[in-house]
Amino acid sequence: MKTKLAILFGGKSDEYSVSLHSAAAIIDNVPQELFDVTLIGITQEGKWFLYDGTTDKINDDTWYKGNLCPVLLSMGEDFKGFIKLNPDDCTYEKLEVDCIFPVLHGRNGEDGTIQGLCQMTAIPFVGCDMTSSAVCMDKEFTHIICENSGIKTAPYISAVNSNKLNVKNLYDEALERFSLPMFIKPANNGSSIGISKIRNYDEFERGIMEAFQHDNKVVIEKMIEGFEIGCAVLGNEELIIGEVDEIDTKNDFFDYVEKYSQHNSKIHCPARISDELKEEAKCIAEKTYRALGCRGLARVDMFVTPENKIYLNEINTIPGLTDLSRYPSMLRKIGIEYSDLIVKLVELAMEQ
């Protein structure tokens, strides 16, 4: 008997377009003999629709054009799934679902919002629960939890946008603690959106304003000299750790444009580091995953300094999942092909 799998894509997020490409790759690789798939698209305005077209239209963002039926996520105890509202506005249909796969990046998809909805329905879903998703998305909470768990992170301070915030005083405090350069990041955002490298006060002022366009809280971090590596983690209690990869970039950092174009960057998988450092990175990835209460999947990103010390950068609970994305690539290196990864993720969701 096939598993009824609902794949959610799109979303009210800065990373809407990333979600489209990740979802299209998953849809194209779902083993049809194992799953009956229902596609639920969420527009940038937050409207939910049943979609039964091709992945080409998802990739080129024309999926929502046409006469699509709105859907609602059922909250009743007698039925688990979606309610499709028919065009006559008078009738509806029930779409039963065994598992939900939220392929939603960033805000309103990776931050616990969708996960909370799924938990209310008691429908199993792929990935971290509401609490874990929320604390992993918030860079300050990630710092607090991981530092208390003995995981090295960059020194930081946080600030909330308010009329009482004195940007010059904040700069002086950060300069005294970190020196230059430093980084400013929205506390809750992904794909390096809104992040700035800071070399002077003018850049600091601009960076603060840009970060506050994406979130009401910012994190200011000391720059860690070195390069970035990442590690894929898969599992609930028993974990599978993928190969360690390395980002080689000529830019100041691996920003949004570089993540999805790689004009000035290259991903090395496996990373060009010693076997001992790889094992240490895998241990840190596992420790981070467990400290933050993750389940299902996550990609843990770290820095390696010239002295071969490893610092946690951040954790992504719904990493990019296109055919060429880092997460599936790291698992492919240890023998887990894309279609097998999808099956495993659904199995992990159904375990709960």
59 and 183 share a domain? Answer: no
27 and 71 share a domain? Answer: yes
CA distance 297 to 342: 11
pTM attached to this predicted model: 0.93
Please say whether the beta carbons of 278 and 342 come within 8 A.
Answer: no
| Residue 334: domain span | 136-151+225-351
162 and 298 share a domain? Answer: no
The single residue listed with the structure tokens 């939603």 is 104
**Within a domain: residue 200?**
yes
Q: What is the CATH number of the domain that holds 194?
A: 3.30.1490.20
CA distance 329 to 323: 8
**Within a domain: residue 131?**
no
Neighbour-count burial of 150, counting CB atoms closer than 10 A to its CB (0-12 exposed, 13-18 middle, 19+ buried): exposed
**Cis peptide leading into residue 155 (ω within 30°):** no
Distances (CA, A) of 187 to 203, 228, 236: 18, 19, 26
Please say whether the beta carbons of 299 and 229 come within 8 A.
Answer: no
Domains: count for the chain: 3
| Percentages (nearest 5) of helix, strand, coil residues in the chain | 30, 30, 40
**Within a domain: residue 248?**
yes
pLDDT tens digits for the chain (352 residues)?
Answer: 999 999 999 999 989 999 999 999 999 999 999 999 999 999 999 999 999 999 999 999 999 998 999 999 999 888 999 999 998 778 999 999 999 999 999 889 999 999 999 999 999 999 999 999 999 999 999 999 999 999 999 999 999 999 999 999 999 999 999 999 999 999 997 657 889 999 999 999 999 999 999 999 999 999 999 999 999 999 999 999 999 999 997 765 544 454 444 566 799 999 999 999 999 999 999 999 999 999 999 999 999 999 999 999 999 999 999 988 999 999 999 999 999 999 999 999 999 7
Q: What is the CATH number of the domain that holds 46?
A: 3.40.50.20
Task: Kindly give the interhelix angle for 113-121 and 130-137, rounded to the nearest 10 degrees.
Answer: 180
| Domain finish residue from 222, 240, 261 | 222
Cβ count within 10 A of residue 17: 16
